[in-house]
Amino acid sequence: MLFRQLFDHESYTYTYLLADEVSREAVLIDPVDKDVPLYLRLLEELDLKLIAALDTHVHADHITGLGLLQDATECATMVGFEGEVDCASEGLEDGKQIHVGSITLNTLFTPGHTDDSFCFTVDDGGVQYLFSGDTLLIRGTGRTDFQNGDPEQLYDSLHNKLLTLPTATLVYPAHDYKGWTVSTIDEEIRTNPRLEPASKAAFVELMNNLDLPNPKMMDVAVPANRACGKRATP
Amino acid sequence: MLFRQLFDHESYTYTYLLADEVSREAVLIDPVDKDVPLYLRLLEELDLKLIAALDTHVHADHITGLGLLQDATECATMVGFEGEVDCASEGLEDGKQIHVGSITLNTLFTPGHTDDSFCFTVDDGGVQYLFSGDTLLIRGTGRTDFQNGDPEQLYDSLHNKLLTLPTATLVYPAHDYKGWTVSTIDEEIRTNPRLEPASKAAFVELMNNLDLPNPKMMDVAVPANRACGKRATP
């Protein structure tokens, strides 16, 4: 599998490019609108055909590149609830398999950060990848105080779905703010302070008392992302 | 091999952590001084012992973390010409092997960006890594107009040393400014505009006409790095 982690400096977003090296089919996870020209350049340089672009959830901190990529490449565009996002060609659901050449992405429904949060796992010749969106971050988790976030749901998504994956699974999140690029399930179980609370009630208490400011771009980003990232004025 | 790419947002520097998962010995390549607390946290969380820290060259755009890491961990500190850097415990030379548990770093002398530029290769079970410093960047190279840079030497370092590595070798540079994290030798041969000139003379002409401004931190960073990153006022 051809695999590239790409970083957006403005929103600290990680975007992931996965491609089948034989069929040259590719998928992008969590693309950012302003970086679409860079993705298109990379796809061309690597001789890849984009067949799908996915968002792990409707983001509040950057504008999705799904609409621009669909226009440029006619790729499929997938989001949690396709009825809520103008351009989305497909919705996601727990257990859905997305095929990109010989690569299979397995979809996990992981609500909690938002009500439309999904994660993806990939097995590449025995190496397990988790694309964890904002559900599980390196030494953190997404917040739960907007977009129908729910700390009880997040606790269940983390403990019943993500932390039961093989411990060597590589964790690739949608963001990191300290310059770290990857972790593992084992490492997060041992070190992530958000996984320390011994009960769901203690986790809910922790999450309900974070008292965080809203993301800077939230008022712009959420409606823009529901329009698939196509802004009224480019 | 445990491998982590770490990013410094201020100077767009990539730092690399390589460790033997059995002996728990580790090395850091191109650490940044202000990120040393994060490296020490990660080393502790991963239960690793830092035995060496290396700089690919005396940097002009950030302050090295070698001195602070040496103070905190008593690791060896290696730079090109140890006589020019206060804290350096060892110099580098072409062909030098650096052993970190079962991992062997092979040193390549690659002058041109600066006169003290070195690269490192590692073979991890058949996967080849190149830590290319500023000698080879993703779709670029380092400049050659200060610190005894020399475009003829850079041409030879690129064409006679780096581009002769196996084409699947993963290229991990010291910087990227567009959010890309890795490339391969094959990919750079096919797409890097600095590798297009058909002759050394054409490359020298290209490099001598870049007309770039000096790095913002150059006047501070070069003398500070020759003092191993220990600033007069912390």
Contacts of A46 in chain B (CB under 8 A): 187
Distance CA B69, CA B72 (A): 5
φ and ψ at A222, to 5 degrees?
-65, -50
Residue corresponding to tokens 């070698």:
B66
Distance CA B158, CA B165 (A): 10
Answer whether A6 sits within 8 Å of B179, measured CB to CB: yes
The answer to whether B195 contacts chain A (CB < 8 Å) is no
Answer whether A4 sits within 8 Å of B187, measured CB to CB: no
Torsion B50-B51-B53-B56 (CA) sign? negative
Q: How far is B21 from chain A (nearest CA, A)?
A: 13
Which of B60, B61, B146, B144 is closest to B110 using CA atoms? B144
- Find the distance separating the first CA and the last CA of chain B, reported in whole Å: 34
Q: How far is CA A11 from CA A34, A216, B1, B163, in A?
A: 11, 10, 31, 35
Contacts of B42 in chain A (CB under 8 A): 180
- Please give the pLDDT value at position A233: 45
Answer whether A7 sits within 8 Å of B7, measured CB to CB: yes
Rounded to 5 degrees, what angle do the CA atoms B163, B166, B169 make? 90
pLDDT bin (cut points 50, 70, 90) of residue A217 is confident
Between residues A132 and A83, the one the model is more confident about = A132
For the record, the structure tokens of A23 come out as: 């069929």
Q: How far is A166 from chain B (nearest CA, A)?
A: 17
The answer to whether A191 contacts chain B (CB < 8 Å) is yes
CB B119 within 8 Å of CB B56: yes
Q: How far is CA A71 from CA A37, A50, A99, in A?
A: 12, 12, 21
A232 pLDDT exceeds 70?
Answer: no
- Please give the pLDDT value at position B233: 45
The answer to whether A41 contacts chain B (CB < 8 Å) is no
Residue B106 CB burial class (10 angstroms; 0-12, 13-18, ≥19): middle
Contacts of A5 in chain B (CB under 8 A): 181-182
- A2-210, CATH topology level: Metallo-beta-lactamase; Chain A (3.60.15)
Torsion of CA A129, A28, A134, B176, to 10 degrees: 90
In this prediction, residues A205-224 reach a mean pLDDT of 86
Answer whether B45 sits within 8 Å of A191, measured CB to CB: yes
3-state class (DSSP) for residue A225:
helix
Report ipTM (2 d.p.). 0.92
The tens digit of pLDDT for each residue in A112-127 reads 999 999 999 999 999 9
Answer whether B45 sits within 8 Å of A187, measured CB to CB: yes
The tens digit of pLDDT for each residue in A62-111 reads 889 999 999 999 999 999 988 788 889 999 999 999 999 999 999 999 99
Q: How far is A34 from chain B (nearest CA, A)?
A: 12
Q: Where are the domains of chain B?
A: 2-213
Which of B89, B41, B17, B31 is closest to B65 using CA atoms? B31
Chains A & B: contacts with CB separation below 8 Å: 47
Answer whether B181 sits within 8 Å of A181, measured CB to CB: yes
Burial state string for B7-36 with b = 16 or more CB within 10 A and e = fewer than 16: bbeebbbbbbbbbbeeeebbbbbbbbbebb
For the record, the structure tokens of B146 come out as: 């200060």
Question: Rg for chain B (alpha carbons), in Å?
Answer: 17
Distance CA B213, CA A56 (A): 40
Contacts of B191 in chain A (CB under 8 A): 45
The answer to whether A9 contacts chain B (CB < 8 Å) is yes
The tens digit of pLDDT for each residue in B25-68 reads 999 999 999 999 999 999 999 999 999 999 999 888 888 999 99
Q: Looking at the partner chain, which of B8, B35, B181 has a beta carbon nearest the beta carbon of A7?
A: B181
CB A132 within 8 Å of CB A119: yes
Q: Residue B122's beta-bridge partner residues?
A: B129
Distance CA A184, CA A168 (A): 6
Answer whether A182 sits within 8 Å of B45, measured CB to CB: no
In this prediction, residues B79-90 reach a mean pLDDT of 86
Answer whether A6 sits within 8 Å of B38, measured CB to CB: no
- B2-213, CATH topology level: Metallo-beta-lactamase; Chain A (3.60.15)
Q: How far is A8 from chain B (nearest CA, A)?
A: 6
Answer whether A181 sits within 8 Å of B46, measured CB to CB: no
- State the pTM of this model: 0.94
Q: How far is B134 from chain A (nearest CA, A)?
A: 19
**One-letter amino acid of B94:** D
For the record, the structure tokens of A191 come out as: 């070190």
- Please give the pLDDT value at position A231: 58
3-state class (DSSP) for residue A50:
strand
Distance CA B25, CA A225 (A): 45
Distance CA B196, CA B194 (A): 6
Answer whether A182 sits within 8 Å of B4, measured CB to CB: yes
Residue corresponding to tokens 């001084």:
B33
In this prediction, residues B213-229 reach a mean pLDDT of 81
Instruction: Give me chain B's average pLDDT, please.
Output: 94
The answer to whether B38 contacts chain A (CB < 8 Å) is yes
Substitution target in A46, A47, A172, A184 with the highest count of B β-carbons within 10 Å is A46
Answer whether B9 sits within 8 Å of A9, measured CB to CB: yes
Q: How far is B129 from chain A (nearest CA, A)?
A: 15
